[in-house]
Structure 1
């Protein structure tokens, strides 16, 4: 998979955020937020035919302005739109790629004791990223209402389009060989990254459940049952990511969030990072990793030893989004000190372990508990790092 020999530096005017970006920040956020009641009601009204698409977007705009201001008030230096325009963290982006369609699946994604709505995506034509992808405008709006912080965009990582459906969700008439699929997937994401940069984005996060699934014996067995060979997937996914990221501008910061599943306060995969750490931390060309470390399901900090010395950041997801109980500051500081045994403290940051609402249903805590957790992240980061 060879990168194209073309410049990816945009001629577009620089974002107002560019001068103050230093991502990831000591206190950072993964992205999604609990949907507000006005937004939930507007969605219900839209589905009932009472509210048209333009009016719904107006409500979304107003609620995004409100949550951006709240994030800035708390002291976060990176803010998101809470994914307020999405129903899903991934499908809303993926099914607007050229060659991809969403469809009603036979069953939802199974979590611990609960399943999502029956929805999925499949590849029906050659992949591509169009200049009118709606999330480009979504970012432009976020950037326009952000005042004191950096606007952060979140999109699913390329491996997400492949792993759960595998070969069966990729039309064999379009892609007789998966080599062609992965090559086009990498090119599609290079175009997407270029598109967000041209729109003014300087902080992009790729959300990726797959690296955590590659640590889970249960998920690896499920992949084999679908006809995939997971033993080769680490190398393939690393190559796709690196091709997509090759030649990106120096002022574009790209992070990778490794997620273990997040729906209604439940999860999918468990297992420490050791099986993927050498490839993930040492060979994938992102600037930072958002890592879930809120429970024993994530294992210990030992895999952080593979993080290149003096290069790349690990954002420790020590604050859970799955319950409203507020973590003690002392406990968080002790965990950061423990992680510092394996990687320099200067290469560490702090965040929640995941978003608060990877789907529109959201996790089982209140909005005020959500804000308290984000404020705790800022508080502890300021206590631990002089440059927070």
Structure 2
């Protein structure tokens, strides 16, 4: 499989964007049974037209629909898959305390929460994201279709959260068997999206960043789990999901440490603990990495980035309205390039610089309510990302 040296564009945004108030209100009406699905779709279309135009105007070329047809960023796969069961109120003991966001929610005194668990063999009997991609195509010009980016759920989303409760042992004998059927579903989805013209997929996976957190490592060990073995299971799952994909289908992997209401994060810790496995064993083309605060650690782990992959540095906060300093952003990019160049797979700083792109550290609304960042703040930050990239790279 041939991998790209960089994703399509130097300046990226990470999927979820600030939803307009009229869309939030319409979704509330729909949830309350006060409007139809068609009326909601009309509002979604209107909002997406506006957010697409915003991306055009600031210079973002890898256009997304802002995830405006979702409530949460991880929707789309397991809520659509045969064999998954929706449980309105999962007992709290079925959520694993070593998972940082689970621990965070329990501290907030969350009661029994909704979730999905496997109850029978998993099968993709209908598309996951095809309708969202086709709808975005319908709202953009043919010239833009090759640039459209789709964000998707991580394959281990419910497995990590529920541990031994993720699937019945009389359905799947072990984790590899469970993920084998998930991989079949992802491969079918990617093939269908590719046939529809999709060439740019971003897998959103904050869970992998949790393996950088001492709290999760210690918590797993306390209940008898080997964190390295669990991570290895997830890497095998990823590579099975990506097996056989077309060479011109760019797939990126986004890691962050939480982006809940009011910018709440759930974990801390640099990428050092997982860097070699993350960069050298998972068969993706590029990595979207949180790097806007010290909790994400230093650039040192980037020295393990192979020459044939790229990294998008999430240097701009999507949680806080304050605008970053452009010159400081540029210095950080050059610092990262110097570290990449110094790694075991030697290259020049200039070569390393061309493996880098920049973006906000996460989306602006991982859940529909979003962060305490206004639409104007979001536009200023995305404009800053574009302007900075143009000053750093001639091909921006």
Structures share fold, TM-score greater than 0.5: yes
**Alignment match of 2:28 (pick from 34, 41, 44):** 44
With the length of structure 2 as denominator, give the TM-score of the two structures: 0.87
Q: Which residue of 1 aligns with 2:115?
A: 120
Q: Give the helix-richer structure, 1 or 2.
A: 2
Matches within 5 A, 1:18-167: 23-104=7-88, 105-106=90-91, 109-111=102-104, 114=108, 118-133=113-128, 135-147=129-141, 149=144, 150-167=147-164
Further displaced range: 312-321 or 245-254: 245-254
Question: Residue 350 and residue 52 in structure 1: after superposition, are their counterparts in 2 closer, same or farther (change >3 A)?
Answer: same
Measure, in 2, the Cα distance between the counterparts of 1:89 and 1:168.
23
Measure, in 1, the Cα distance between the counterparts of 2:366 and 2:163.
22
Matches within 5 A, 1:140-219: 140-147=134-141, 149=144, 150-219=147-216
Matches within 5 A, 1:312-351: 312-343=309-340, 344-351=352-359
Matches within 5 A, 1:264-343: 264=261, 265-309=263-307, 311-343=308-340
Measure, in 1, the Cα distance between the counterparts of 2:226 and 2:86.
25
Question: Residue 353 and residue 185 in structure 1: after superposition, are their counterparts in 2 closer, same or farther (change >3 A)?
Answer: same
Question: Residue 72 and residue 111 in structure 1: after superposition, are their counterparts in 2 closer, same or farther (change >3 A)?
Answer: farther
Instruction: Give per-residue Cα distances to partners, 1:200-235, cap 9 Å, x unaligned.
Output: 211011111122111111122344566643220222
Q: Which residue of 1 aligns with 2:367?
A: 359
Where structure 1 has 5 or more consecutive residues not aligned to the other structure, the ranges are: 1-7, 9-21
Measure, in 2, the Cα distance between the counterparts of 1:236 and 1:345.
32
Asked if 1 retains the 8 angstrom alpha-carbon contact of 2:316 and 2:324, the reply is yes
Q: Which residue of 2 aligns with 1:16?
A: none
After superposition, the CA RMSD in angstroms is 2.0
Question: Residue 175 and residue 225 in structure 1: after superposition, are their counterparts in 2 closer, same or farther (change >3 A)?
Answer: farther
Asked if 2 retains the 8 angstrom alpha-carbon contact of 1:24 and 1:313, the reply is no
Measure, in 2, the Cα distance between the counterparts of 1:30 and 1:209.
13
Question: Residue 115 and residue 382 in structure 1: after superposition, are their counterparts in 2 closer, same or farther (change >3 A)?
Answer: farther
Instruction: Give per-residue Cα distances to partners, 1:236-295, cap 9 Å, x unaligned.
Output: 111111121121111111000012111010111110101110011011111100000000
Question: Residue 242 and residue 291 in structure 1: after superposition, are their counterparts in 2 closer, same or farther (change >3 A)?
Answer: same
Asked if 2 retains the 8 angstrom alpha-carbon contact of 1:110 and 1:116, the reply is no
Query: How far 1:50 sits from its partner (Å)?
Result: 1.9
Asked if 2 retains the 8 angstrom alpha-carbon contact of 1:160 and 1:209, the reply is no
Q: Which residue of 2 aligns with 1:257?
A: 254
Query: How far 1:106 sits from its partner (Å)?
Result: 4.1
Query: How far 1:89 sits from its partner (Å)?
Result: 1.0
Query: How far 1:65 sits from its partner (Å)?
Result: 1.2
Asked if 2 retains the 8 angstrom alpha-carbon contact of 1:136 and 1:196, the reply is yes
Question: Residue 366 and residue 110 in structure 1: after superposition, are their counterparts in 2 closer, same or farther (change >3 A)?
Answer: farther
**3-state SS in 2 of match to 1:201:** coil
With the length of structure 1 as denominator, give the TM-score of the two structures: 0.89
Measure, in 1, the Cα distance between the counterparts of 2:162 and 2:8.
31
Further displaced range: 140-149 or 276-285: 140-149
Measure, in 2, the Cα distance between the counterparts of 1:299 and 1:92.
31
Instruction: Give per-residue Cα distances to partners, 1:84-116, cap 9 Å, x unaligned.
Output: 111111144321122223323346845487577
Where structure 2 has 5 or more consecutive residues not aligned to the other structure, the ranges are: 93-100, 341-351
